[in-house]
Amino acid sequence: MHSGRFDALIPTHEQAWLFAAGRHLMPERNLPVAPLAAYDSVASKIAFASTLDDLGLPQPAWRPVHAESELAVLGYPVWVKAAHSTAGRGVALAHNQSEAIEAWRDLSQHGQVMIQMPAAGSYAQVQGVFEHGRLVGAAASALIATGAGGSAAARISVDHPKAIEALRVLGSHLSWHGGIALDYFHVNGEPAFIECNPRTVEPGNAAKAGVNLPELLIRLVTGPPLTTNVELTSPGVRTRSTMAIALGSAERIGTRRAVLAALASAVGGRGEMRGSEEVLTPIVRDPFSIAPAVFAVSSVLANPVSVRRLAQSAVDAYGVTTEAVETARLASRDPE
């Protein structure tokens, strides 16, 4: 930053928490990240659920679990969740006591565990950018195609004012600064929140629908001053990642036929993909983006079941574990 070659330092994934924890170690402190105490209120699934309860925001029933005997308190089916995990890798849906115990024994090796009832409705996500607790831009989108780990490989922007209001309440309460995203299920726009990503996530749909979240993050650092109006996306805009759609099909079904069918539907604009625009590997605008797409798709076509290993290796490279959290905290001497 001191070289003058860069205008802003923007965290794009789990390193946002590490930036907050190590802010005092960085020569450039004007970072678009929230205070460490705010991260502590949402970074783990248990902390996030507790914060939602404190604010009266909607979520499925949940309980922390300290022993196997507590797994059945909500009934079945039930989600068993590790406190720290990402990309759908630290959760398991248990249909009975034996499945719950198996999940508990696996996940509890790495830290705290909670259980949560399944939410009704369809998956969606709301994300926004805050300026010291003030919401300056927000985007809500619903899943129309599933990627690896249950992620949204294709989205449609939606008008969910109750989800955006809940996001505003949370960000204001935490004096949030920077990006944040909430996953939820909804029935006719009524949200039930299930997870928080204390950072911005895939911004392509929001940008196509009228709100450029990365640009807002840069403006938090460099100016000009942000307007007092909240920037909101327009509903009905469809975007996709063809590569992610192929990976999701390989993970769920595990056959070349399924992967090829998913690719044909995405590229051909069929069904939910009609009118969608590619945002991850836009080959026309960015010809070099064809390289990762070809590598990933050819890998899963050669061996569809390899997608689990491919996805897990990617998560292992960026995921923040309980051990990483504790290590960073021990090293932290944040004056905040």
List the domain boundaries for the chain: 1-59+122-239, 61-116, 241-318
Task: Report the SS3 class of residue 260.
Answer: helix
Q: Confirm if 120 and 192 have CB atoms less than 8 A apart.
A: yes
pLDDT at 331 over 70: no
> What are the structure tokens assigned to 89, written together?
């890798």
3-state secondary structure of 65: strand
Pick the CATH number of 61-116 from 3.30.1490.20, 1.10.1370.20, 3.20.20.370, 3.40.50.1980: 3.30.1490.20
In 3D space, the residue among 64, 110, 116, 70 whose CA is nearest the CA of residue 89 turns out to be: 110
Question: Could you tell me which of 192, 152, 191, 199 has the C-alpha nearest to residue 171?
Answer: 199
Q: Give Dmax (Cα) for the chain.
A: 58
Contact 238, 119 (CB under 8 A): no
Instruction: Look over the chain and give the mean of its residue pLDDT values, rounded to a whole number.
Output: 88
Asked whether the beta carbons of 211 and 183 are under 8 A apart, the reply is no
The answer on pLDDT for 159 being more than 90 is yes
> Which pLDDT score is estimated for 46?
97
Do the bridges between strand 178-187 and strand 122-131 make them parallel or antiparallel, or are there none, so unpaired?
A: antiparallel
What is the β-pairing status of strands 113-116 and 122-131? unpaired
CA distance 263 to 246: 6
| pLDDT-based confidence at residue 17 (cuts at 50, 70, 90) | confident
Cis amide bond preceding 225, omega within 30:
no
Amino acid at 245: I
Q: How much is the average pLDDT of 132-158?
A: 94
Q: Which is more confident, 152 or 334?
A: 152
- Spatial contact of 89 and 149, defined as CB atoms under 8 Å apart: yes
What is the per-residue DSSP string for 309-334? HHHHHHHHHH---HHHHHHHHHH---
Mean pLDDT of 301-320: 69
Question: Which two three-digit tokens encode residue 336?
Answer: 């905040």
CB atoms within 10 A of CB 35: 17
At residue 315, the pLDDT reads 60
Residue 117 near residue 192 (C-beta atoms within 8 A): no
Q: What angle do CA 285, 222, 207 make, to 5 degrees?
A: 35
Cβ contacts of 150 within 8 Å, gap of 6 or more = 88, 123
Domain 1-59+122-239 top-level CATH class: alpha beta
Residues recorded for the chain: 336
**Whether residue 335 has pLDDT greater than 90:** no
If one compares 292 and 236, the residue with the highest pLDDT of the two is: 236
Counting Cβ atoms within 10 Å, is residue 302 exposed (0-12), middle (13-18) or buried (19+)?
A: exposed
- Per-residue pLDDT, 62: 98
The winner for highest mean pLDDT among 61-75, 215-229, 284-298, 300-314 is 61-75
